[in-house]
Amino acid sequence: MNLVWFVIGLILLVVGAQFLVRGASKLALSFGISPLVAGLTIVAFGTSAPELAVSVQSAYAGQVDIALGNVVGSNIFNVLFILGLCALIAPLIVAAQIIRQEVPIMIGASLLLLALSLDGSLNRVNGALLLGLIGIYTVFLVRQSRKETQATQDEYAHEVGRASAAQWDRHWLVQLLLIVGGLVLLVLGARWLVEAAVAFARDLGVSEMVIGLTIVAAGTSLPEVATSVVATFRGDRDIAVGNVIGSSTFNILAVLGVSSLVAPQPLAVAPALLSFDLPVMIAVAGACLPIFFTGNRIARWEGGLFLAYYTAYTAFLVLASKQHDALPAYSTVMLEFVLPLTVITVLVIAWRERRNHASS
């Protein structure tokens, strides 16, 4: 029954997010907001609605490890799994703005989260700070959108317009019902998914943190998977990559900001999360810069590397949760051989690309 409730909760989260994004984007267009602004804000942030619902529900119910693990695990999943999968489908051309602006902002948000967590908790003051920053970031995106090229505007208009092409939801009352219905489904889905996840942790003998970092994180990231994969097949590179990067920033600033405010007590940051998973999240965010610099693209081999690292990270969590005998040997191979070899390879390729650009 736990599996049944988990699947039902996950379905409600995905469907609720779709209703919310459809109703909100259509309502925004009805009020004269441009498709580009709607794409940069409502559609991009709407894909993170499941993470928001689950983390807020968990924080309010006292399942702090799931609330925090969901955000950290989702960000790791976003970059390593989603970008890796999309790059395997088709090499992704990365816009210069994403390299110069969006990735540094994501890295900055990740470092800020680590700094705020060093005292072992996230309190309401921290939450207010994070929410204030997402507000500033959103206003900045809206103002910057006025300077975007026509090609980018057409791309977002195509994406938002596709979700709003039907005639049955043209009336504002239907749009409001979609928004309300989406929120109701998100709340119900989050409650059932969190309860099932806690039961999973008890049945499997692993911590709620591991469940949050893996099963819950992957489940709540399904809207990002769908959005980025479909955008990759359509050739909408800005949406495929920007959705992942923007969602990761939103997860830290908005999801944890709201969660810290609604929680009855400050969110206690587990030592394992502080010493391992948060640094991994920051390293994954930082890894985007040198890989994106290799010709301003994510090649298929780089996508395969991302997926391999996500598999390795998940395997480490499982081995560590069970204190498996293979854990010491596995950790030694990863830390002393695989990671250094990967760093050297990426740096050599990045240096070669920079030299080629300088000579051309």
Rounded CA separation 73/211 (Å): 9
| pLDDT attached to residue 40 | 60
pLDDT at 206 over 90: no
Rounded CA separation 305/294 (Å): 14
Rounded CA separation 93/312 (Å): 26
* Residue ranges covered by each domain of the chain: 2-324
Quick one: fold of 2-324? A middle domain of Talin 1 (1.20.1420)
| pLDDT attached to residue 152 | 61
Is the separation of the CB atoms in 10 and 189 below 8 Å? yes
Least confident of 30-39, 75-84, 126-135, 245-254: 30-39
What three-state secondary structure class fits 121? Answer: strand
Closest residue by Cα to residue 54 from 195, 180, 181, 177: 195
pLDDT at 72 over 60: yes
Return mean pLDDT, the chain. Answer: 81
Structure token digits, residue 334: 């990863």
| pLDDT attached to residue 112 | 96
What are the residues facing 92 on neighbouring strands? 298
Query: CB burial class (10 A; 0-12, 13-18, 19+) of residue 199?
Result: middle
Please indicate whether residue 219 or residue 77 has the higher confidence score (pLDDT).
77
Least confident of 9-13, 291-295, 331-335: 291-295
Closest residue by Cα to residue 26 from 163, 152, 153, 158: 163
**How does 238-266 read in b/e, with b if 16+ C-beta sit within 10 Å?**
bbbbbbbbbbbbbbbbbbbbbbbbebeeb
Mean pLDDT of 281-309: 81
Mind listing the pLDDT tens digit for each residue in 105-162? 999 999 999 999 999 999 999 999 999 999 998 888 777 766 666 666 666 666 555 5
């942790």: which residue's tokens? 201
Structure token digits, residue 46: 């709407």
| pLDDT attached to residue 360 | 60
Residue 343 to residues 181, 207, 300, 301, 349: CA-CA distances in angstroms? 47, 31, 17, 14, 10
